[in-house]
Amino acid sequence: MKIACLGPAGTHSEAALASSGIKDSEPLLCASIAMVFDFVASGKAQAGFVPIENLLEGPVVETLDQLLEHKENLKISESFNYKVEHSLGVISSFKGDQKDIKAVYSHPQVLGQCAGYLRENLPNSKKCAMDSSSAAAGFLKENQMLEAAVLGLRATLEKEGFKILAENISDSKDNNTRFVLIKKGKETALEQDEELKPENYVTSILVEPEKDRTGLLFELLSIISEKHRVNIRSIHSRPDSKGGFIFFLDLQGHPSSSSIKNCIKDLREISPVDSGMGTKISVAGSWQNTPLASVEPLTVGIIGAKGKMGGWFSKFFSSSGFSVIESDKGSKVSSEDLVKSSDVILLSVPMASLQTVVDEIRPHLKPGQLVVENCSVKDSSLDSILEDLPKGVECLAIHTMFGEKVGSLTGENIVVTSTTSSGPLSDKLENLFEKRGAKVSRVSPDQHSEATALVQSLVHSILLSFGETCAKTGHSIEELKKMSTPNSRAIISAMERVASQDKELLLTLQNQNPKAHEARRVFLQSYFDLVFSLFRGETEALEQTLEATKKIIKE
C-alpha cells in the first residue's frame, strides 16, 4: 500500500510510519502535509500518514486545515502514537559551542517542543521554521551555514554528517506525537456493527457556522455535554474566510455508537444549513483514544465483589480502563493476594463484616496504596480503618447515594469523606467520578451523619411506616396506584424501592447512625404538633409547617 507522508527522507513522519506496524507499506515522501492530502485525494496514494497532535504543542494546524478542505472524501481511520526525540546538530566543521549558534532551523512543531531548552541554552539564537526537520538539515548543509543548528532525528543528522551537540532535548522526556491514517471514504464507511467501548475511541467533527452569532458554541456544547453526556476530549478553533471561526471537536465515542449518532443528528437538526444562520457538521473520522502521556495502569481490588454494589463497582472500574481483581466469600482469590496485587482496595462489605475484613488486610498494606470504604455510616467505619493504618497508605471514605441498578453516574450523588491520609490516589478516584458525570460532595464524617440521618434513616422509616399503614387499613399498592397523583405515585415508587433493599443495610442505617434518633425525634414532634392541631380543627400549625417548608426550599 502506497502511503504518503511528510518528507524528505529522514523526517519524524517517515520514522513514525516505519514504526507504526502497518504491513506492506511503501512511503511516498511529500514536500508538505497539504501534498500528502492531495496525493490521497488524487489516488496517487492509498492512504496518508500525518501528525495531528503533540503532547507539548497540541494540534498540528496544517493537518486540521487539510481535514477541513478534504472533509467530503477523506477521513481519519486509525491513529498511532510515536515517541519523538529531538537532537541539536551542527555542520561537522563547526568549531564553536552552543553560545556561538546564531539560528536554529526545524519544523515549527519541533521548535515549539524544544522551546524551553532553546530559551535556556540558546536565548539569543533566531528560530527559523522550515517545512520539515530534514529539509532544514538539507538547507544548512547546502548553504554551509556554520553558525546555525538544526533540530531533528539523531540518526538522520548523523547520516547527513552533522555533529550532535545535544540529544533528547524536548521539554518533556515523554514527548509523543499522534499520527493518523487518512483514507478515502464517506462517513457511513466508518460505522461498525460490533459493540465498542465508547471511552476507547474518539470521533472528530468539524463545525462550520454560516454566520457568526452569539451563543452558537454554547448551544452546540449543551447538546453534546448536557443532553447526550458525551465527553468533549478537545476543542480547537481556526479562522474562516468570513471573519468568523471554524471549530474542531473531538468527542469521546465511536461513530457507530448510539450516543455519537444521536448527538451528531441533534447537532445538525438545531442549525440546518441554508437557513442563513445554520451550521454544517462534518465527521472527519475516528481513531483509538490512546493517551499521549504515559499513564500508569491502576489495579482495583474489590472485597465484596459478589454483593450488589461490589458488582456495580467491578463493572464501573472495568469500563473505565482499570484492571479489576475480585474477592468474596468462597472466592479463589484471598484478601491477602488481592491486597498484594492492587493499587486501590475497595471495601464493599456490610458494616458487620467491616472490622473483620480490615483486620485481615491491614498487615498486608504497603505505602502508596489506597483503601476505599463505601459504607453508609462513617464514624465507626473510618475509625476501624484508620486505627493503626500503615504509614503512607491512603484512606478515602465514599458513599454512593444510589443502588446497583444505576447504569450511568450522570447526575448521581457520591459523598466523599476525606481523611488526613487521603492523597493523590484519592484525588484520581474523585476526578474519575466527576468525569463520569457524578455530583461529588465533600463533607466531614459529622456532616455526613447529619445529612444521611435525614435523607436515608428518616426517609426510610417514614416510607416503611407508610407501607405498614396501607397494609393495616386494608389497601393494596396496586389499588392505590390507580387513584394516585403524581406526588403519591413518586412516594409509592420510593417506598417499593426501600422495601426491596437489603434488610441488614436498613437496620444499619437506623441503628448505627448516631444522628438518626434525633432526626426521628424532631420529625415525630413536628408531625404530632401538626396532627393534633388538625384534630382540634386549627390551621395555624399547617400554615407554619407550609411556611417552614417553603423557606427551606428557597434557601
Q: How many domains does the chain have?
A: 5
Please, which pLDDT band fits residue 200 given cuts at 50, 70 and 90? confident
Q: Do 276 and 345 reside in the same domain of the chain? A: no
Q: Do 395 and 453 reside in the same domain of the chain? A: no
Average pLDDT, rounded, for the chain: 88
Which structural domain, as residue segments, surrounds residue 330? 299-443
Find the mean pLDDT for residues 37-65: 93
Q: Do 57 and 105 reside in the same domain of the chain? A: no
Q: What is the CATH number of the domain that holds 163?
A: 3.40.190.10
Q: Note whether 459 and 501 are within 8 A (CB).
A: no
With a cut of 80, say whether residue 364 has pLDDT above it: yes
Give 16-34 as a DSSP string: HHHTS--TT-EEEEESSHH
Give the model's pLDDT for residue 275.
58
Which set of grid coordinates corresponds to residue 273?
A: 444549513
User: At which of 398, 414, 443 does a domain end?
Assistant: 443
Q: Do 107 and 193 reside in the same domain of the chain? A: no
Which is higher by pLDDT, 195 or 446? 446
With a cut of 50, say whether residue 190 has pLDDT above it: no
Q: Do 69 and 179 reside in the same domain of the chain? A: yes
3-state SS, residue 449: helix
Q: Do 307 and 280 reside in the same domain of the chain? A: no
Give 176-227 as a DSSP string: EEEEEEEEE--GGGG--SS---GGGEEEEEEEEESS--TTHHHHHHIIIIII
Q: Do 467 and 544 reside in the same domain of the chain? A: yes
Give the model's pLDDT for residue 171.
87
Give the model's pLDDT for residue 195.
47
User: At which of 134, 158, 185 does a domain end?
Assistant: 185
Find the mean pLDDT for residues 515-541: 92
The proportion of the chain whose per-residue pLDDT surpasses 90, expressed as a percent, equals: 52
Q: Do 144 and 57 reside in the same domain of the chain? A: no
Q: Do 163 and 175 reside in the same domain of the chain? A: no
Q: Does the predicted TM-score (pTM) go above 0.75?
A: no
Q: What is the CATH number of the domain that holds 513?
A: 1.10.3660
With a cut of 90, say whether residue 245 has pLDDT above it: no
Q: What is the CATH number of the domain that holds 373?
A: 3.40.50.720
Q: What is the CATH number of the domain that holds 241?
A: 3.30.70.260
Most confidently modeled range among 206-215, 404-413, 465-474: 465-474
Contacts 24+ apart (CB under 8 A), 481-486: none
Give me the sign of the Cα torsion angle 432, 435, 437, 442: positive
220-233 per-position pLDDT tens digit: 888 998 888 888 88
Give the model's pLDDT for residue 381.
73
Most confidently modeled range among 68-82, 225-239, 498-512: 68-82
Q: Do 305 and 215 reside in the same domain of the chain? A: no
Q: Note whether 282 and 190 are within 8 A (CB).
A: no
User: At which of 110, 140, 169 does a domain end?
Assistant: 169
Q: Do 200 and 256 reside in the same domain of the chain? A: yes
Amino acid making up residue 135: A
160-181 per-position pLDDT tens digit: 899 999 998 988 877 889 999 9
Buried-state track 376-409, b at ≥16 Cβ within 10 A, e below 16: bbbbbbbebbbeebeeebbbbbbbbbeeeeeeeb
Give the whole-angstrom CA distance, residue 95 versus residue 90: 10
Q: Do 333 and 400 reside in the same domain of the chain? A: yes
H or E element, residue 489: helix 486-499
Find the mean pLDDT for residues 36-44: 96
Please name every residue paired with 103 in a beta bridge, in sequence order, or none if there are none. 126, 148
Task: Give me the phi and psi of 477, to 5 degrees please.
Answer: -65, -40
With a cut of 50, say whether residue 189 has pLDDT above it: no
With a cut of 50, say whether residue 106 has pLDDT above it: yes
